[in-house]
Structure 1
């Protein structure tokens, strides 16, 4: 008898162009976070956002997050929320769609986190209505 584990269910593979963009965005995000100062990473994010054509819908942002999650399964190193959210942000801008990259915190317990938002709603995040994150920085 097998025991069910707390492993996310396998999802279908995203379309090929989304996978290529997600892999490139994850590599770029990891390089930026690990080698560049935060102010340089924020400058890159602001420039990338200026090059977008229109805001992303929640569905489009969800598709980018799903592709990023698929690409992260093959990533050999540590990819925490900062790298993952920046990768989703960059992937969305590479598709020509604007999302907000947010870095924030919450208290009790004290915790920091990074995520993306579309239509002012977090995308791909668990609902923490009892202890919401407060946005410290929005790009």
Structure 2
């Protein structure tokens, strides 16, 4: 098993936003029906006034990844992508929250997209994910 690399601690405002966003995202995914989670995401996106840049998306993903290391519960792609989406919305920035799938092998995944494409996701040009839902 490889030892994970030590990441630099994000700035305090990014960490606080990521903590709040991960707590809300986890509560929504675990306790609320999916239609309620999607409704909250749509309302939240309407409140964000400006599109986020790719750099802002990378900062939010880095803060989210740092915070999720200390999260005691389940933090899979649905929760952490929603957390990054909500953390940016707290700052008035808008990104797309995407849920999709790919085949052979069959997988589902959730991620955020800013400006030109996915943020913080590995490149898989041979097996891209197809967007099923975009908010």
**Is the counterpart of residue 19 in structure 1 residue 8 in structure 2?**
no
Match of 1:71 in 2: 67
Cα distance in 2 for residues equivalent to 1:96 and 1:10 = 30
What is the DSSP-based 3-state SS (H/G/I as helix, E as strand, rest coil) of the residue aligned with 1:17? helix
Name the SS for the 1:76 alignment partner: coil
| Structure 1 stretches lacking a partner, 5+ long | none
* Paired residues, number: 135
Q: CA deviation at 1:8?
A: 3.1
What is the distance in 1 between the residues matched to 2:3 and 2:96? Answer: 29
- The structure with the largest alpha-carbon Rg is 1
How far did residue 65 of structure 1 move?
0.3
Is 1:112 aligned to residue 108 of structure 2?
Answer: yes
Alpha-carbon distance in structure 1 between the residues aligned to 2:29 and 2:113: 19
TM-score by length of 1: 0.94
Q: 1:28 & 1:10 partners in 2: Cα distance?
A: 26
Aligned to 2:80, which of 77, 84, 91?
84
Please tell me the root mean square deviation across aligned C-alpha atoms, in Å.
0.9
Aligned partner of residue 41 in structure 1, secondary structure? helix
Where does the alignment leave 5 or more consecutive residues of structure 2 unmatched? none
Output the TM-score relative to the length of structure 2.
0.97
Separation in 1 of the partners of 2:7 and 2:105? 32
The CA deviation at 1:116 is: 0.3
